[in-house]
Structure 1
Amino acid sequence: MKTRRGLLAVVAAVGLWLALSLAAFGAEPIKIGLLAPITGFAAADGESMINSVKLAVGEVNAAGGVLGRKVQLVYYDDAADPKQAVPLAQKLIKQDRVVGVVGGSYSMPSRAVAPIFDDEEIPFIAAYAIHPDITKGDYTFRNGFLGAVEGQAAAYTAVKILKGKRIAIITSDNDFGRTLAEGFKKYMKRNPSDAQLVLSLTYPMSEKDFKAYLAKVKEANADVVFASGYYFQTGPMLKQAREMGITAKFLGEEGADSPKTIEIAGKAAEGFVIVTNLNRDDPRPVVQKFLKEYRKRYKTEPDMVGASGYDAFMVLVDAIKKAGSTDRKSVRNAIAETANYNGLTGIIRGFDRDGEVIKPVQVQVVKDGKFRYLAMVDNPAIITPKLAAGDD
């Protein structure tokens, strides 16, 4: 009789636990915002961002959600336009009442919305936008690389890995391009060697014909070209360069980390090197699981944009779990205390006082039509944001 009563008590306890758990999971979801360029010139990046973060949301909810509640992704299309991004940021705050926001867009819209989220004390993690102004607020963080870090990593790659002696820069004339070029030149100035910068050119965002710029590269007899730009710029540039008989090694950055670059450039993409966020050959389970699932679900190759968004979302979720609350200040503090996080884009050692991520820079090369591992830049003077951005 006692055994039966004991069994009934256990069953009742389990039933109560299940009821409470189901009630909690059926509670109002935790809303996390996302702004991404779903339409416009950067639509391919926006698609990658949405696809990747949706994978992350599915994983989190399949594992029981956060604090016993489902996570709801609230996302809007900012078309990489600051004028569109600002009212959408206000909508996420006032209408959707999000706990935190993933910045899945470019530097200009991210710069525009970061102060808005900071004023409202809403944690904001820029997934890959590089401009230094983005992280000026206490509630703003960057999971991607600061421009000074990525630019210097590119220069290190040009000199130390590609063994360039006569180096040229061709970069887009916007926040993204200018910031990267500044970092590249800073490394060259700080680390004098027999390598020299023989040419530095900028082109407008709308440029499609790069032959005039490439003719100057050919004339300067450059052996390494830092071709900084987005996939829709770098792809055509690579193709035109090879058509002109230019044999120099071409080096890009995260803006060209897209299957679209290879699709546009075709065979001219072979040997193209980039400094970026994602190592496709990283053996860690978190990386290989993501790559496999992304390819299976979306029938295309993943890129650093999506991987960076996935990480930004997961870091935010991890912070909510550690805070044990959706209190914005507690979540913000938990993000700031992140240490040795096993991220998709590398081991995130932490965020500095300015909200800048500290992690190695990945170097990939196009081999047989796919981005593969070439090297990793782990030099503290380059990957530590304060050191990289410091005045000379």
Structure 2
Amino acid sequence: MRMSKKLYLAIGILILFVGIGGGLFWYARPSENKGDDLAAQQVVERVPVIVGVLIPQTGPREDVGEEMRAVLDLATEEVNRAGGVQGRDVVLKYVDSGCDPDTAQRAMRELIDVAPAAIIGGICRSESLVAARIAQGAGVPFISPAAAAKEYSEIGNMVFRFVPSEVQEGEAAAEAAAKATSTRAAVFACAQDDCRALADAFSNALAVRKIPLVVSGTIATSSQGIGAQIKTLVSNRANFIYLPAGREEAQLFLDALSSSSLKAAVYLPRLEGEESFRYASNTLVYELRLSNPDGTIILQKLAERGWGKGFLSQTTYRSYDILKKLADALTLSSVNNLKTAEVFSKISDWQGVADRYSIDPQTGDLLKASIVPVIVPNQAQ
């Protein structure tokens, strides 16, 4: 019996030494094997972070898509030069929305297939709603610099935007109209659905305040057609004009207004802070004003890269800021193993963006839409 215990003890000691020896042998294995493990880890670390970008590369907002691509490429280059996301480069995957819901749906499926960390985009109303719902269903954060549809923020917690809803903006414009004396309002909107939704929101807000809407319609696209619309405004004594329209249409309208006898306030819900925009000298023009990145610096950087335009839309400026803050969020998400959408509502940098744009980081809604008058030089004298 005693011999048996000693035998068991000897066997146990032998097993222990064999285990220790095996471990030491594994640790001291040839360096090329350890190098293979390290190389594999480095390969994982070098896998790029894909960010999807849904922009109109064709269709009615192709010009905005072109601007956004130039600015997002610039921002991505700067992010990667600064170290990327935990040493991984950010790579943008562009798809064309065409400002069309069916095209956007196909494009979003293409983006989801490449497993992006997040998606930036959504310029037109219908495409934004379709894209946001697909992103929410796939669990991918979707951040829009321009989505104004009221339903947008109701889609889910993966959806963010950097502008007020059409209802909020309509309310803000109606408040401005209510402060004027004997307001007789008019609205001319572009034919696209986002312009029409803004016009409807403004009309509804006027009705609540019992402010008469004396003229409404689709803005003309020619100087002759707009001239006829100005005459209608004059005959109806309109003095507050809501103008959700594209840049070219709005400029034609303001040029025609400047040469008319009509004195009115004009609110441009789609053209905040446009550089090189000519304002009518006999008109008080209102814009929605959000704090944006320094456009002069961004334009200078783009000019150095061969960019020929002297202005950018505010949607484009916001896209630059979104990409930069998204990189911050992805970096912290990687470190803390949190979902990017969760990080958006936690990190200080994103909170800073939310404060700057007056956005509730939990819902993506702009807390308060406000408009400010643009002082035209002729009026200031």
Contact 2:173/2:371 (<8 A) preserved: no
1:130 counterpart residue number: 148
Shifted more, 238-247 versus 124-133: the winner is 238-247
Name the CA shift for 1:181/1:310 in 2 (closer, same or farther; >3 Å). same
Q: How far off its partner does 1:29 sit? A: 0.8
Q: How far off its partner does 1:321 sit? A: 2.5
Contact 1:150/1:275 (<8 A) preserved: no
| Unaligned 5+ runs, structure 1 | 1-18, 375-392
Contact 1:46/1:104 (<8 A) preserved: no
SS in 2 for 1:165: coil
1:11 counterpart residue number: none
Name the CA shift for 1:270/1:124 in 2 (closer, same or farther; >3 Å). farther
Which residue identity does 1:44 align to in structure 2?
D
Aligned pair partner of 2:301 in 271, 286, 293: 293
Which residue identity does 1:306 align to in structure 2?
T
Q: How far off its partner does 1:145 sit? A: 1.7
How far, CA to CA, are the matches of 2:52 and 2:181 in structure 1? 43
Name the CA shift for 1:348/1:176 in 2 (closer, same or farther; >3 Å). same
Name the CA shift for 1:337/1:185 in 2 (closer, same or farther; >3 Å). farther
Contact 1:64/1:70 (<8 A) preserved: yes
Q: Name the one with the larger strand percent.
A: 1
Name the CA shift for 1:190/1:132 in 2 (closer, same or farther; >3 Å). same
Residue 149 (structure 1) aligned with residue 168 (structure 2):
yes
1:365 counterpart residue number: 374
| Unaligned 5+ runs, structure 2 | 1-37
Q: Larger Cα Rg: Structure 1 or Structure 2?
A: 2
Q: How far off its partner does 1:126 sit? A: 1.6
Residue 230 (structure 1) aligned with residue 246 (structure 2):
yes
How far, CA to CA, are the matches of 1:126 and 1:249 in structure 2? 30
2:330 counterpart residue number: 320
Aligned pair partner of 2:214 in 199, 208, 219: 199
Which residue identity does 2:244 align to in structure 1?
S
- Structure-to-structure mapping, 1:148-167, within 5 angstroms: 148-160=167-179, 165-167=183-185
Contact 2:172/2:369 (<8 A) preserved: no
2:22 counterpart residue number: none
How far, CA to CA, are the matches of 2:295 and 2:280 in structure 1? 28
Residue 249 (structure 1) aligned with residue 265 (structure 2):
yes
- 1:298-317 Cα offsets, whole Å, 9 max, x none, are 35123211022223323432
Name the CA shift for 1:89/1:197 in 2 (closer, same or farther; >3 Å). same
Aligned length: 337
**Root mean square deviation, CA, Å:** 3.7
How far, CA to CA, are the matches of 1:163 and 1:279 in structure 2? 30
SS in 1 for 2:74: helix
Residue 215 (structure 1) aligned with residue 231 (structure 2):
yes
Q: How far off its partner does 1:346 sit? A: 3.0
How far, CA to CA, are the matches of 2:44 and 2:281 in structure 1? 48
SS in 1 for 2:212: strand
2:32 counterpart residue number: none
Contact 1:257/1:274 (<8 A) preserved: no
SS in 2 for 1:249: strand
Normalising by structure 1, we get a TM-score of 0.72
SS in 2 for 1:351: coil
SS in 1 for 2:148: coil
SS in 1 for 2:201: helix
Q: How far off its partner does 1:330 sit? A: 1.1
Contact 1:30/1:98 (<8 A) preserved: yes
